[in-house]
């Protein structure tokens, strides 16, 4: 990437290469995005190049087709002649002839060129055959008069050309207009009546779906108030983050859409972020229904080509609103007027690879740059955002009622400790099964969620629901069958697996975990007539399959939608009157201080799927921890109550939003070496940080070994960022220069550990 020119040549100028070719006629990143790349690099301790890579569609990144490495055996003479002495050479083979490639294959064999890495070609726009019609009236007319009477097809073609002089027609469309054969077209080309050309064909991922247009609804009082505040800030041209805290089904989406319309009326554009592909189909439909073809969609389910085309449409200013998941926050929209971050609490907004940016933070940065409103919407705002609203950094807007007049469904909590017998294992308590049967008998639909988030590898007392926690951090410990221990992956504390529960003395300690497939099989036995749609990572791998499944469910082609947490959010089906949560506890077992928050969010979100329209709904939650506050507050639909209690817990444990967290993780092929170097880093830090910075670890990561690398982490907790950023940047640079085989990365405010 050439991002600028220095006034004076740098020291190692002889090692630099000249720019050989300009790839793009205009820069692929504008001034804003270039500035943003710098800010993100600084904030995430990433290298700028990795941020630039993230900002561009895949298709624009692979600039070389093949990279070749040559081993020492290649004689210097050959090297000099063929490869100008370089040991690693990059070729562009796009303009090579067949002969060149054959010759090269021979060279590879004789000179033992070690490795050929094929990188995908840089995307080109997809083209289609088209015909440009001639403008030469004289030629066309004389040809017309010279035609024999029998040449009806040719006459028709010439007539069409004369009526559309100079126009470009795609072949398919042209043949629909005048039914001429390929042979006739070829003869017409020969005669210069028209010429073959290639035109760009945009790949539209929604080309095959039709979406009925929707009209704005009349806002209710709360929606109107929220809309007015956003409008005010848009009209003033001021940066203002809003926290739109609206219960599930309160009509947040309608507020987004009308705010977007207001911004379009000002001639500006909108960026609309959604957490993940799971939510995208229904949300995309709703945006497309309102704004039609002016909508661009960017999400990870697109092919590289589709993504590139959407990116180009945005860059050219052909679209007004971009809907997309995390990386869409870098969409090259100019003239931005509004940014919406739906379900702002979702962990998927944080990238877990370098650069470890949070899309919400990037959205706020862009909002400030453009001086516009940014709406963060959620039924269960993250504690961080809610706390910021408390301090007036965000303006809080509330929607407390369901928009269509429906009410929130009653939630029944089933204590599984009293339900399970020593008989055969079942995932269904009697009350849930009964409700399920009744729901299906009424001809209505049910959603069942099996929460699989996190690890199945934690232990729980079967009698009292107790999950062993570590004494230092009060976090659930992870089960390690190899060493027969429980470990805290936060601080490194380790202890043997208990044989008796420390809470109640029971010996019925077991590990928890079950799969959707198993549950589906059980359902087939319990309710043989029910039509069950199973939705999880396995059944939705194929592109578009999730959208199809949801459509099918919406069309009543199934009675029960059974899935992992991917079904918890955003789905809006009027006939769903029963929601069952099979195991509310799994997230509580996460070795992470977000465990309660995630549980509360998930239960609230999934409960929100029931009774959204005329028909009243209800929710059944199965749990071993019926008195846990995350579960009781979710049962009462009491976000504010949960917020207050959880803030007290965070305060006591020195967690966010009271403390910042930075996670330093590193991996090495040798376990000892990884540990040794991480201890050195911890010592290095201890000598340099201020006294109030808490340093935990190093300890092994929850997944301690991956692809033959050993992972360790150090956690820093601190109240003020002063000085620490510079220190961490220095650490990152040192690690980069030191060739000790340690791969290090620094993660600010990690969303999981
Ligand atoms: P949220 O995004 O807050 O979960 P939705 O936007 O999905 O809520 O709204 C829930 C339902 O209420 C939708 O079916 C929507 O069409 C309907 N709705 C939203 N606003 C209104 C309104 N002002 N009047 C009538 N119905 C509305
Ligand atoms: Zn611990």
Q: What is the pLDDT of residue 70?
A: 36
Neighbours of 691 (CB within 10 A): 4
| DSSP result, 181-241 | -HHHHHHHHHTTSEEEEEEE----TTTT-------PPPP-HHHHHHHHHHHHHHHHT--EE
**Confidence (pTM):** 0.76
pLDDT at 569 over 80: no
Atom of ligand 1 nearest to the CA of 223: 23
Strands 240-246 and 395-399 turn out to be parallel
Q: What is the pLDDT of residue 117?
A: 36
pLDDT at 48 over 70: yes
In the structure encoding, which two tokens stand for residue 683, read together? 């010592």
Q: Is 249 in the pocket of ligand 1 (CB under 6 A)?
A: yes
Ligand 1 pocket test: which of 222, 254, 378 has the largest number of ligand atoms within 8 Å of its C-beta?
A: 254
Residue ID of nearest Cα to ligand 1 atom 15: 251
pLDDT at 89 over 50: no
Atom of ligand 1 nearest to the CA of 218: 23
pLDDT band at 104 (very low <50, low <70, confident <90, very high): low
Cα(403) to centroid of ligand 1, in Å?
A: 5
Q: Is 403 in the pocket of ligand 1 (CB under 6 A)?
A: yes
Q: What is the pLDDT of residue 349?
A: 95
Residue ID of nearest Cα to ligand 1 atom 11: 249
pLDDT at 315 over 60: yes
Q: What is the pLDDT of residue 24?
A: 64
The complex scores an ipTM of: 0.96
Mean pLDDT over each residue of the chain, to the nearest integer:
83
Tens digit of pLDDT for each residue in 112-130? Answer: 554 443 333 444 556 678 8
Burial of 126 (0-12, 13-18, 19+ CB in 10 A): middle
pLDDT at 461 over 60: yes
- Out of 235-249, 392-406, 572-586, 731-745, least confident range: 731-745
In the structure encoding, which two tokens stand for residue 662, read together? 């930075």
Q: What is the 3-state secondary structure (H, E, C) of 5-38?
A: CCCCCCCCHHHCCCCCCCCCCCCCCCHHHHHHHH
Contact 479, 593 (CB under 8 A): no
Q: Is 219 in the pocket of ligand 1 (CB under 6 A)?
A: yes
**666 DSSP β-pair partners:** 712, 744
Residue ID of nearest Cα to ligand 1 atom 23: 219
Chain-centre distance of CA 235, in angstroms? 31
Neighbours of 647 (CB within 10 A): 17
Q: Is the model more confident about 270 or about 306?
A: 270
Q: Which ligand sits nearest to residue 469's alpha carbon?
A: 2
Q: Which ligand sits nearest to residue 611's alpha carbon?
A: 1
- Out of 132-141, 170-179, 445-454, least confident range: 445-454
Sign of CA dihedral 69, 72, 76, 77: negative
pLDDT band at 22 (very low <50, low <70, confident <90, very high): low
Q: What is the pLDDT of residue 71?
A: 33
Tens digit of pLDDT for each residue in 325-381? Answer: 999 999 999 999 999 999 999 989 999 888 999 999 999 999 999 999 999 999 999
DSSP annotation of 504:
T
The annotation status of 464 as a binding-site residue, yes or no, is yes
The annotation status of 504 as a binding-site residue, yes or no, is yes
Q: Is 220 in the pocket of ligand 1 (CB under 6 A)?
A: yes
Q: What is the pLDDT of residue 69?
A: 36
Q: What is the pLDDT of residue 269?
A: 97
Averaged pLDDT, 725-737: 87
Rounded to whole angstroms, the Cα distance separating 493 from 486 reads 8
Q: Is 251 in the pocket of ligand 1 (CB under 6 A)?
A: yes
Contact 273, 328 (CB under 8 A): yes
Contact 262, 372 (CB under 8 A): no
Tens digit of pLDDT for each residue in 222-258? Answer: 999 999 999 999 999 999 999 999 998 899 999 999 9
Q: Which helix (H) or strand (E) holds 137?
A: helix 137-146
pLDDT band at 306 (very low <50, low <70, confident <90, very high): confident
pLDDT band at 586 (very low <50, low <70, confident <90, very high): confident
pLDDT at 79 over 50: no
Burial of 480 (0-12, 13-18, 19+ CB in 10 A): middle
Chain-centre distance of CA 417, in angstroms? 37
Tens digit of pLDDT for each residue in 623-670? Answer: 988 999 999 999 999 999 999 999 999 999 889 999 999 999 999 988
Residue ID of nearest Cα to ligand 1 atom 25: 404
Tens digit of pLDDT for each residue in 151-202? Answer: 888 999 999 898 888 888 888 878 888 889 999 999 999 999 999 887 766 5
Averaged pLDDT, 401-420: 85
Cα(461) to centroid of ligand 2, in Å?
A: 20
Cα(713) to centroid of ligand 2, in Å?
A: 13
Rounded to whole angstroms, the Cα distance separating 193 from 184 reads 11
Rounded to whole angstroms, the Cα distance separating 593 from 434 reads 36
Rounded to whole angstroms, the Cα distance separating 262 from 240 reads 16
Averaged pLDDT, 543-571: 85
Q: Which helix (H) or strand (E) holds 695?
A: strand 694-706
């Amino acid at each position: 990437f050439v991002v600028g020119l220095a006034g004076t040549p740098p020291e190692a100028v002889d090692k630099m290469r000249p720019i050989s070719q300009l790839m793009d006629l205009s820069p692929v990143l504008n001034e804003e995005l270039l500035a943003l790349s710098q800010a993100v690099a600084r904030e995430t301790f990433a290298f700028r190049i990795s941020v630039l890579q993230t900002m561009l569609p895949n298709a624009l990144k692979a600039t070389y087709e093949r990279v070749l490495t040559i081993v020492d055996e290649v004689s210097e003479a050959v090297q000099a002649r063929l490869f100008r002495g370089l040991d690693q050479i990059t070729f562009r083979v796009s303009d090579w002839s067949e002969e060149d490639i054959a010759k090269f294959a021979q060279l590879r064999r004789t000179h033992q060129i070690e490795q050929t890495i094929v990188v995908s070609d840089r995307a080109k726009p997809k083209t289609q055959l088209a015909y440009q019609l001639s403008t030469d009236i004289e030629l066309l007319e004389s040809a017309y008069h010279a035609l024999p009477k029998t040449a009806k097809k040719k006459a028709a073609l010439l007539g069409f050309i004369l009526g559309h002089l100079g126009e470009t027609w795609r072949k398919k469309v042209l043949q629909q207009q005048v039914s001429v054969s390929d042979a006739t077209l070829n003869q017409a080309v020969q005669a210069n009546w028209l010429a073959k050309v290639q035109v760009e064909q945009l790949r539209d991922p929604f080309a095959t779906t039709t979406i009925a247009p929707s009209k704005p609804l009349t806002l209710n009082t709360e929606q109107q108030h929220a809309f007015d505040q956003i409008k005010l800030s848009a009209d003033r041209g001021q940066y203002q983050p809003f926290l739109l805290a609206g219960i599930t089904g309160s009509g947040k989406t309608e507020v987004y859409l009308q705010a977007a319309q207001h911004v379009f009326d000002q001639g500006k554009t909108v960026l609309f972020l959604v957490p993940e592909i799971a939510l995208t189909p229904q949300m995309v439909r709703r945006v497309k229904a309102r704004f039609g073809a002016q909508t661009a969609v960017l999400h990870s389910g697109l092919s590289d080509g589709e993504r590139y085309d959407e990116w180009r449409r945005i860059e050219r200013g052909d679209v007004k609103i971009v809907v997309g998941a995390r990386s869409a926050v870098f969409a090259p929209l100019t003239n931005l007027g509004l940014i919406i971050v739906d379900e702002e609490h979702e962990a998927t907004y944080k990238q877990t690879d370098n650069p470890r940016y949070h899309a919400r933070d990037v959205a706020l940065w862009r909002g400030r740059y453009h001086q516009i409103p940014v709406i963060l919407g959620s039924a269960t705002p993250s504690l961080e955002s809610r706390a910021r609203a408390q301090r007036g950094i965000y303006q809080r807007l509330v929607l407390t009622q369901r928009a269509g007049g429906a009410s929130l469904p009653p939630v029944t909590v089933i204590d599984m400790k009293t339900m399970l017998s020593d008989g055969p294992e079942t995932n269904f308590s009697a009350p849930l099964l009964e409700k399920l049967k009744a729901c299906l008998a009424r001809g209505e639909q049910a959603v069942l969620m099996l929460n699989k988030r996190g690890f199945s590898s934690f232990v729980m007392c079967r009698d009292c629901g107790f999950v062993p926690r570590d004494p230092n951090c009060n976090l659930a410990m992870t089960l390690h069958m190899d060493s027969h221990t429980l470990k805290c992956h936060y601080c490194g504390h380790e202890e043997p697996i208990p044989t008796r529960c420390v809470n109640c003395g029971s010996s019925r300690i077991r590990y928890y975990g079950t799969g959707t497939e198993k549950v589906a099989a059980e359902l087939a036995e319990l309710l043989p007539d029910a039509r069950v749609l199973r939705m999880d990572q396995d059944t939705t791998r194929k592109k578009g399959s999730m959208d199809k499944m949801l459509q099918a469910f919406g069309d009543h082609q199934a009675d029960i939608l059974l899935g992992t947490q991917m079904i918890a959010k955003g789905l809006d089906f009027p006939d769903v009157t029963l929601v069952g949560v099979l195991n509310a506890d799994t997230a509580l077992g996460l070795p992470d201080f977000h465990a309660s928050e995630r549980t509360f969010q998930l239960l609230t979100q999934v409960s929100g799927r029931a009774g959204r329209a005329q028909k009243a709904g209800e929710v059944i939650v199965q749990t071993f921890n019926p008195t846990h506050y995350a579960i009781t507050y979710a049962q009462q639909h009491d976000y504010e109550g949960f917020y207050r209690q959880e803030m007290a817990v965070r305060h006591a444990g020195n967690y966010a939003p009271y403390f910042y967290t930075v996670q330093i993780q590193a991996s090495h092929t040798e376990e000892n070496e990884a540990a040794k170097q991480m201890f050195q880093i911890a010592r290095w830090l201890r000598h340099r940080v201020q006294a109030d910075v808490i340093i935990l670890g190093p300890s092994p990561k929850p997944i301690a070994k991956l692809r033959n690398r050993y992972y360790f982490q150090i956690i820093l907790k601190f109240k003020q960022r002063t000085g620490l950023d510079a220190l961490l940047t220095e650490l990152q640079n040192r690690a980069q220069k030191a060739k000790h085989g340690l791969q290090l990365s620094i993660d600010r405010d990690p969303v999981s550990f």
